[in-house]
Amino acid sequence: MSEATHPALKLRPFIGYKATNAFFQGLWGTAYVGLMSPLPPEVFSAGGIGFSLGTWLVALAYSRLFNLSAFFRISLAVEVIALISVIAILIYPPGFAIAAGIYLGFQFALIFGSYLGRLETLVVAKDSLKHLDMGKSIGALLGLGFAALFYQWARLWLNIDESTILVQMIHYPLLLVQAVNVGLLLSSFDRSRFGDAL
């Protein structure tokens, strides 16, 4: 663990990014189960195998990936995949093709989860990790609460009870949340300081 936050990382926007990201995950997690219903169970087995192999390959590349430039680029790629997924759900009808595409994107993003967590621990001062984790917890709780309220609102006020429509509708606020997420991520880094040692 680091005694000081890396100079390329702007801590306040980064904590905001992680909290907003957790809000997105809490909100999106409620829709994910419904989105995956067209996929047969063996797809999840294949996805798990791909995930395990992918994390193994990422671990083999740690010596090249343990730097701020890679951390930023991979974080941004993961957020752009999430943004594209939200847009795709709003554009295309639910079904096997969209579920498979979302699942593949989600698995690809998850492959980098351990790496991103390890780098985060290296670049954030240990006395700031508490604030980071508290922001994540609060964000996730708020996302889950928002989702529950949104579904109830849509059922009571819009008379929508069909799960596929509810899942698609929740992607409108998700689009806004993910756009904010990307903006906060971009503002969290001073890219001119990426060369500073970890």
All structural domains of the chain: 11-188 (1.20.1250)
Each residue's pLDDT tens digit, 166-197: 999 999 999 999 999 999 999 999 999 898 88
Over 90: is that where the pLDDT of 58 sits?
A: yes
Contact between 186 and 5 (Cβ < 8 Å)? no
At residue 1, the pLDDT reads 62
Separation of alpha carbons 68 and 198, rounded Å: 8
Structure tokens at 21: 């990201």
Please give the model's pTM, rounded to 2 decimal places.
0.91
Digit-coded pLDDT (tens) for 59-91: 999 999 999 999 999 999 999 999 999 999 999
- Coil, strand or helix at 22: helix
